[in-house]
Amino acid sequence: MENLDPNVINDDLIRSCIQLEGQTEGLEEKRKNTDFNEVEILSFSFKSVLKVDNLRGLVNLTKLQLDNNMISKIENLDHLVNLKWLDLSFNQIAKINGLDKLTKLTDVSFFANRIETIEGLDTLSQLNVLSIGNNLIEQLETVMYLRRFKNLRLVNLAGNPMCRDPEYRSYVLSHVKNLKYLDYRLVEDSTVSAAREQYQDEMIELEEKEEQEEQKEKMETERQAHLKLMAEANMAGGGNFFVE
């Protein structure tokens, strides 16, 4: 690392880490004069950052690199609601949390941390790329968590203890839908078909359950929409349709 002593994120460090794409001449001057609310890319790679903090005013940030640091907790990111790309690889993170409000995230890396289970990503419906290899994930079944992400196309899980399971690749490809790349290897349709056939009975039961849950959610959504319309009509008419 450039600096072995723990580093604190402050305004000076932020300015030195501003990335201005396509800019070469007068870079330092432009960094000095850039308003924080105009910054889109920050790279704190190899800065010995101990804690994620003091990122105030960076409301338009879309890409944040915090890789190769000393970070043990994901925190103080809630206000970065425009973030699409987040790199937390090569840190000391043991638990995924603190990302609930970052709903625009598409690319996330937790590679080489101390994570034991896949969690804390529920609200990231646009997630497209997830790298969580070289962690401490032992239970193969934790992969089921990724099934909810309908836009997920690339997943890296290589280097986790669960990958030693002889059924690892077939389990992932049968249970996580629409993957194009797994552990940086292209996923062939024939491989997915073979994996699904291997888990055929389990997949039939799982898909039937999911279909039932989707129908329940659809009915509840329609019910809530109907109640909202009735309430709006009630207010507009100045009466109470629910009182006989």
Q: How many Cβ atoms from other residues are within 10 Å of residue 34's Cβ?
A: 14
Q: Residue 77 and residue 100: Cα distance in Å, rounded?
A: 10
Q: Residue 231 and residue 205: Cα distance in Å, rounded?
A: 39
Widest Cα–Cα separation across the chain: 76
Give mean pLDDT, residues 167-185.
Answer: 95
Task: Indicate if the pLDDT at residue 219 is higher than 90.
Answer: no
The H-or-E segment that residue 42 falls in is: strand 41-43
Task: Indicate if the pLDDT at residue 213 is higher than 60.
Answer: yes
Give mean pLDDT, residues 110-132.
Answer: 98
| pLDDT at position 2 | 47
Q: Residue 96 and residue 81: Cα distance in Å, rounded?
A: 17
DSSP secondary structure string for all residues of 159-202: TSGGGGSTTHHHHHHHHSTT-SEETTEEPPHHHHHHHHHHTHHH
| pLDDT at position 208 | 75
Q: Residue 123 and residue 77: Cα distance in Å, rounded?
A: 14
Q: What does the pLDDT look like over 137-163, one tens digit per residue? A: 999 999 999 999 999 999 999 999 999
Strand partners, 86: 64, 108
Q: What is the mean pLDDT of the chain?
A: 90
DSSP 7: B
Q: What does the pLDDT look like over 33-63, one tens digit per residue? A: 899 999 999 999 999 999 999 999 999 999 9
Q: Give the phi and the psi of residue 78 in degrees, each rounded to 5.
A: -55, -35
Axis-axis angle for helices 168-175, 189-198 (nearest 10): 100
Q: Give the phi and the psi of residue 156 in degrees, each rounded to 5.
A: -115, 115
Q: What does the pLDDT look like over 14-28, one tens digit per residue? A: 999 999 877 667 788
DSSP 18: B
Q: How many Cβ atoms from other residues are within 10 Å of residue 60's Cβ?
A: 15
**pLDDT-derived band of residue 102, with 50, 70 and 90 as boundaries?**
very high
Q: Residue 26 and residue 12: Cα distance in Å, rounded?
A: 17
**pLDDT-derived band of residue 236, with 50, 70 and 90 as boundaries?**
low
| % of residues, the chain, pLDDT over 70 | 93
Task: Show the CA angle centred on residue 65, arms to residues 178 and 5, nearest 5°.
Answer: 140
Instruction: Tell me, letter by letter, the H, E, C secondary structure of 97-117.
Output: CCCCCCCCCCEEECCCCCCCC
Structure tokens at 15: 């300015």
Closest alpha carbon to 85 in 95, 77, 96 = 77
